[in-house]
Amino acid sequence: MRWRKFNGDTIDLPIYNAVENAIKREIAAGFRLKVCFGTDSQVKGTDTEFATVIVFLREGHGGFMFIHNEKTKQRFSIKERMLMEVARSIEIAYELCNLFTIYNVDMEVHADINTNPHFKSNDALKEAMGYILGMGFAFKAKPEAFASSSCANKIVS
């Protein structure tokens, strides 16, 4: 998996090491961190593009993010696509979760799913919430799910 920074610089280290280095650097600089994971997707012709982000929030001092993009020709229903987004966020959160325990960093998984039942994405809300909470992660949906609905959204738009 290739990750990059928002400015386009590629991250050459394995993501585990890059995240650990970022946590160490930010803690050494005196920041209290929270990390949020989110994925958004967009269908463009026959391709579906997914953008997964790891958002590092420095309490009261902004933040930064690491980004991974992936395209597939696979077709999805809206519910399948929403659950694929959640699965991608959970996959990376699970890979990194012991780092957050070691360094006492709060983390959340954000789902780009509307809590309003009038929106199509709401069909996936119960499954997504169960999946995320069942894995032991804090869960946020729209409008609080900024990692997926704002940060990742900017990458695939």
* 131: CATH: 3.30.420
Residue pLDDT tens, the chain, 157 long = 899 999 999 999 999 999 999 999 999 999 999 999 999 999 999 999 999 999 999 999 999 999 999 999 999 998 899 899 999 999 999 999 999 999 999 999 999 888 887 877 777 888 898 999 999 999 998 889 999 989 998 888 6
pLDDT at 93: 97
In Å, what is the CA distance from 35 to each residue of 54, 59, 64?
A: 7, 11, 10
The range of the structural domain enclosing residue 18 comes to: 3-156
Output the pLDDT for position 157. Answer: 67
pLDDT value of position 114: 82
pTM for this model (two decimals): 0.92
**How much is the pLDDT for 121?**
73
- Residue 117: the pLDDT is 79
Domain total of the chain:
1
Question: How many Cβ atoms sit within 10 Å of the Cβ of residue 62?
Answer: 9
